[in-house]
Amino acid sequence: MQYRIDIKSGNKLSALGFGCMRLPRRGLSIDMQASEKLILHAIGQGVNYFDTAYIYPGSEAALGEILHKNAARDKISIATKLPHYQCGKYEDFDRIFDIQKNRLNTGYVDYYLIHNLSEAGAWRRLAGLGIERWINGKKASGEIKRIGFSFHGTQANFLELLDAYGWEFCMIQYNYMNEYYQAGRAGLEKAYAKGLPVMVMEPLLGGKLAAGLPKKAEKLLSDADTSRTPAAWSLLWLWNQPEVTVVLSGMNSYEQLADNLATAGESYAGAATQADLAVIGAVKKIFEESYKVPCTGCNYCMPCPKNVNIPGSFSAYNAVFATGFVSGMTQYITGTNALRKSGNHRASNCVKCGICEKKCPQNIKIPAELLSAKKRLEPFWLNIVLKIGRAVMGSK
């Protein structure tokens, strides 16, 4: 494992961080046995930064239980997040933070973030509620070690937020497809210039840069280096940059963890050759031609009041262009439960209420894109095919 230094505190952080939003699940519940094995193996291999959040279902409690059970709390740094949009008064800060400490089985949080703080106006609202006084109190008591924010918004807003408060770190969405998206490279470089550690989320664009690449792009990467997986190429691109401190990966299988650990062992700045970067540049062009909607599958838009599987619809829509019409349609039919006449989750159920759009960290025009997905994935003959399928399978 390679490590990078938190310049502000001197902490030595593993280049690979464990993102706990996508822990293994059995149905709707976190698979504690599988999660425990993954987390303990990661710690044993040198991973010492674990990221969760108040709004990730079951994540804080699962991480807290595993660390407490195995006496591993002091071996790692925990990062979790305050959902500022759920705070309407000063007392809400303590109410939520106390719940988080209880879930995490800890008396302190190493890296505490204001979750999805995307413009300075939101920070000014929190300041009006007294959050700066609250932060100062928690830092004085040792309950919060470092304070930062996670970001989904425009680059201009990110640059403004960096100067709005004395932040000690930040977290941005960044990968080779998002080099100039949201905070982007300019945001990364300004944060680094201010001495802030930068934690990177969505390094694989919700898995699309690992398992969702167009076949042409996969072949390009394989021809360049048969031993390096698509995920490893993505992580190489990130760790090649000295401004990146920790790269978070939402690993939910041993294979993913092992691959990322192998790459993290060689994660020094400047490791990528010019030939490597040229290959990634060529992959970017192919990807841009194939993917229509920049959905990462984070599920922040869910649940939909009309039961549309929004991330599933977009994933299938993108797959039509990236891997072929049959592949995309198959994914759409299974992912939206389309074979059921009632209880399906198709894009055509959208009534354009706009609730999802307000919650999307990617600022996707969801109703409009769902309409595009519907036009592509629900051709005139689909209902006939589904009717036949229901009759064969006995579905209602």
Residue 301 lies in a domain: no
Specify if 271 maps to a domain.
yes
- Using alpha carbons, select from 18, 85, 89 the residue that is nearest to residue 55: 85
Provide the 3-class DSSP secondary structure of residue 259. Answer: helix
Question: Is 60 exceeded by the pLDDT of residue 115?
Answer: yes
**What are the tokens at 82?**
């305050």
pLDDT tens for 38-72 read 999 999 999 999 999 999 999 999 999 999 999 99
- What CATH number has the domain bearing residue 234? 3.20.20.100
Tens of pLDDT, residue by residue over 153-166, are 778 889 999 999 99
Is 134 found in the same domain as 35? yes
- Count of structural domains within the chain: 2
Residue 295 falls inside a structural domain: no
Identify whether residues 91 and 48 lie together within a single domain: yes
Is 237 contained in some domain? yes
Same domain, 79 and 171: yes
Q: How far apart are CA 291 and CA 282, in angstroms?
A: 15
217 within some domain? yes
**Whether residue 48 is found in the same domain as residue 190:** yes
> Position 169: which residue type?
F
Residues 244 and 353 in one domain: no
- State which residues form the domain around 157: 3-289
97 and 189 together in one domain: yes
Return the biggest CA–CA distance within the chain. 67
The per-residue pLDDT for range 244-297, each reduced to its tens digit, is 999 999 998 999 999 999 999 988 899 999 999 999 999 999 888 877 888 878
Query: Pick from 260, 289, 318: which residue ends a domain?
Result: 289
Q: Are residues 108 and 244 in the same domain?
A: yes
Q: Across all residues in the chain, what is the average pLDDT? A: 91
Q: How far from chain centre, in Å, is Cα 349? A: 27
Contact in structure between 170 and 149 (CB atoms under 8 Å):
yes
pTM of the model: 0.79
Structural tokens at position 5? 């230094």
The two three-digit tokens of residue 395, written as one number:
């579905």
**pLDDT tens digits, 285-338:** 988 887 788 887 888 898 999 989 898 888 888 888 876 788 788 878 877 777
Q: For residue 319, what pLDDT is reported?
A: 80
What letter does residue 347 receive in the DSSP assignment?
G
